[in-house]
Amino acid sequence: MSRIIARVNPVIFKTQAIHVKASPEVLCYTPVGNPLGFAEMQDLRQPVSVDDPESFELTVANMGVSVDLSLTWQERDFRVLIRQDRTEQEDNVLKLISGYVPAHELRVPLLTVMTEIAEELLLESNRGWLQGRYMETWLPTPYSATLPLSKRHSYQLTSHHAAAHPVLCRELHLIERPRAYVHLPTNSLQLVYSMQLQLPDNCPGLTMLHADEHMDTEKNQLLVEMNYQRPEIFLAEMRDGAATGKLFSLEQGELVPRRPKNIWLSEALAPQTGWVIEEPRSQWPEGLTRL
């Protein structure tokens, strides 16, 4: 049974189109044009093509961010994935924690990453809910009114590894060197940040949950829910850089095997050529080796 953990007024989402200039050595992007609402942005997310995946100039509909989140638990290595039912594509995928970048954060997309992790990744212990910290900065606590925080324990995020080629917003290098790609089917620029999640020692009863949101059209409210009976966060086991094909949920400090049916991986794990990904999804579990 799901539990509503927040009721919030829907924020009017605004972003901008993104001008992308790519060369074999670097990708540079610049927000352009008037602010776009969510529906206007979606209208622009139509398939595009480029002649050379390593060198091109293009204006895309929007920018999104994802987090390649690694975790070591009980001396085993995992990647954190979220299940998403995509009605438009008529498929079921496991994806990275991700979100659209609003206009005011297009020049500092790492802020969007921190918000998405705080909003989507819920960690419950026997002593309360864990707040996250990135280096010396505490993450937001969007549900603290209903999910009381642990006073003793928190989790830590650190940068895991940097991409080979830099990404610039105008003339400024993005910190943490995310991987970048233009997803041709959705005409969007995507940034993937690689991070390590470190859970606290001696923290009993850890459970990992996902916060999902949907609109209550009658009350014009955004409802945020979590569900103990239907885990939406999965830990994909990795061994020597390769996926074992095993999925788990973390419940009360124990790894529980999960076997979702007919799953794919999202396009962030599909083959990338230069700065371009052409596929709408990726095979499970082979795509995990591309992270």
Mean pLDDT, the chain cut into blocks of 10 residues (291 residues total) = 79 93 98 94 96 98 97 95 80 92 97 96 95 95 93 94 92 94 98 96 92 80 84 92 93 93 91 97 90 80
Q: What's residue 231's pLDDT? A: 76
Distance, in Å, from the CA atom of 182 to the CA atom of 256, rounded to the nearest integer, reads 36
Supply the pLDDT for residue 109: 97
Using CA of residue 222, residue 225, residue 231, residue 237, what is the dihedral sign? positive
Is the pTM above the cut of 0.85?
Answer: yes
Say what the pLDDT of residue 88 is.
Answer: 67
- 167 is written with which tokens? 């990404």
> Tell me, what's the pLDDT at 66?
97
pLDDT of residue 215: 76
Phi, psi (degrees; rounded to nearest 5) at 31: -65, 135
Please give the span between the terminal C-alpha atoms of the chain, in angstroms, as a whole number.
34
- Fill in the DSSP letter of residue 199: P
Q: Which residues of 167-204 are buried (b: 16+ CB within 10 A; e: fewer)?
A: bebeeeebebbbbbbbbbbbbbbbbbbbbebebeeebe
Cβ(215)–Cβ(223) below 8 Å: yes
Structure token digits, residue 93? 């995928």
Residue 291 to residue 268: CA distance in whole angstroms: 9
Return all residues near 236 (Cβ < 8 A) that are at least 6 apart: 78, 79, 80, 81, 94, 243, 246, 247, 285, 288
| Buried-exposed string 34-66: b where 16+ CB fall within 10 A, e elsewhere | ebbeeeebeebeeebebeebeebebbbbbbbbb
Distance of alpha carbon 70 from alpha carbon 164, whole angstroms:
19
Q: Is 115 helix (H, G, I), strand (E, B) or coil?
A: helix
pLDDT of residue 241: 84
Q: What pLDDT score does 87 carry?
A: 67
Annotate 206-240 with b (16+ C-beta within 10 A) or e (fewer): bbbbbbbeeeeeeeebebbebeeeebbbbbbbbee
Phi-psi region of 43 (alpha: psi -120 to 50; beta: other; left: phi over 0): alpha
